[in-house]
Amino acid sequence: MRVVLVSCDLLPEGDGDEESLVAALVRDGVDVTWQPWGGPVDADLVVLRATWDYTEHLDEFLAWCATVPALANPLPVVRWNIDKSYMAELASRGVPVVPTAVVEPGQEPDFPDGEFVVKPAVGAGSRGAGRFTDHAAARAHLEAIGVKALVQPYQSSVDENGETALVFFAGEYSHSFHKGPMLAQGLGEAESGLYVEERLGSIEPSPRQVDLANQVLDVAAELLSLRRSDFLYARVDVVEGPDGAPLLLELELTEPSLGFRLTTGEAAERFSKAIQAAASGA
Ligand SMILES: Nc1ncnc2c1ncn2[C@@H]1O[C@H](COP(=O)(O)OP(=O)(O)O)[C@@H](O)[C@H]1O
Ligand SMILES: [Mg+2]
């Protein structure tokens, strides 16, 4: 069985987080290799992992995805998930999300009171995301990025509690990790050019967070006319809302870091098994 993990030219073998996954696949006898996206690829399953430069090459990336025979997650999932306006769709289906307004280029935004975040609808690694109170500065930022953007009230719980990432394989909960706040006042600085360095740790989610993550996956699967087990991997990032209840900040179905370094080896084992089941068409 041959499996390709997809990366990008800047990080051909990812950022090292997946070493335990590769080891688990090799132990299970899988022929696994890393390959940057863009070239011809041939495998039983091609798993998007560290493709973090795609936001600057979106059309090219999606065109390449369309040429890949057995892509995980599949192209319709990637297309839908790459544009964070899915937040509004999930909200309209009753999912508790961080309140999200979608602003088209040139459109006059209606900013929330107090502190708020402006971020590109297609973005990763906190690039282009900024935290504002001043409307003129936020307008200037929207103009500077010049693309569809999301505007959200800043969730101040993030300053103290950060966010919790809940990871699922083939629709089943696996493990969680914790991320510190990413946005200082103003703009995030991406030193690596790919992502703002994250402060991460291990965490146990609350039952309410797990319930929310399950709801998010169920509704997303319904919207896409899929079973949630069709999501080979999924990461649900939740924060605490103003009343303490969890809110969705982001659903990552394209190229999320899965935090293998932050949890036990069992997570990599679980992902290895899910990959093999998907690769064998089970
Ligand atoms: N509404 C918000 N309130 C508080 N922090 C936010 C908000 N939106 C984004 N952030 C911060 O910015 C980071 C990046 O935003 P996110 O929506 O997760 O996009 P991505 O991870 O795809 O770049 C988050 O990890 C979080 O720290
Ligand atoms: Mg994020």
Mean pLDDT, residues 17-32 = 98
Give yes or no for residue 117 CB within 6 A of ligand 1.
Answer: yes
Give yes or no for residue 123 CB within 6 A of ligand 1.
Answer: yes
- Note the pLDDT tens digit of each residue in 206-242: 999 999 999 999 999 999 999 999 999 999 999 999 9
- Note the pLDDT tens digit of each residue in 132-157: 999 999 999 999 999 999 999 999 99
Confidence at 181, pLDDT banded by 50, 70, 90: confident
72 phi, psi to nearest 5 deg:
-130, 135
Q: How far is the CA of 125 from the centre of ligand 2 (A)?
A: 7
- Note the pLDDT tens digit of each residue in 259-278: 999 999 999 999 999 999 99
Exposure b/e, 133-158, CB count within 10 A at least 16 = b: eeeeebeebbeebeebbbbbbbbebb
- Note the pLDDT tens digit of each residue in 34-62: 999 999 999 999 999 999 999 999 999 99
Confidence at 125, pLDDT banded by 50, 70, 90: confident
Indicate if the pLDDT at residue 245 is higher than 80: yes
Give yes or no for residue 44 CB within 6 A of ligand 1.
Answer: no
What contacts 249, CB < 8 A, 6 or more positions away?
A: 97, 98, 155, 163, 237, 238, 239
Confidence at 188, pLDDT banded by 50, 70, 90: low
Closest ligand 1 atom, CA of 125?
23
Q: How far is the CA of 263 from the centre of ligand 1 (A)?
A: 22
Give yes or no for residue 129 CB within 6 A of ligand 1.
Answer: yes
Beta bridge partners of 8: 11
Domains of the chain by residue range: 2-75, 82-96+156-258, 101-153
- Note the pLDDT tens digit of each residue in 73-122: 999 999 999 999 999 999 999 999 999 999 999 999 999 999 999 999 99
Give yes or no for residue 120 CB within 6 A of ligand 1.
Answer: no
Indicate if the pLDDT at residue 253 is higher than 80: yes
- The CATH number for 82-96+156-258, chosen from 3.40.50.620, 3.30.470.20, 3.30.70.420, 3.40.50.10860, is 3.30.470.20
Q: How far is residue 216 CA from its own chain's centroid?
A: 13
Within 26-153, strands assigned E span 31-36, 45-48, 71-72, 101-103, 116-120, 130-132, 149-153
Q: How far is the CA of 198 from the centre of ligand 2 (A)?
A: 10
Give yes or no for residue 162 CB within 6 A of ligand 1.
Answer: no
Contact 129, 118 (CB under 8 A): yes
Structure tokens at 226: 């899929």
By C-alpha distance, which of 46, 62, 44 is closest to 54?
62
Helix (DSSP H) and strand (DSSP E) numbers for the chain: 8, 14
Give yes or no for residue 87 CB within 6 A of ligand 1.
Answer: no
Contact 5, 36 (CB under 8 A): no
Indicate if the pLDDT at residue 191 is higher than 60: no
| Separation of alpha carbons 164 and 199, rounded Å | 12
Half-sphere exposure of 234 (CA within 13 A, CB side): 27
What pLDDT score was predicted for residue 57? 95
Closest ligand 1 atom, CA of 126?
23
Contact 186, 134 (CB under 8 A): no
* Largest Cα–Cα separation, the chain: 57
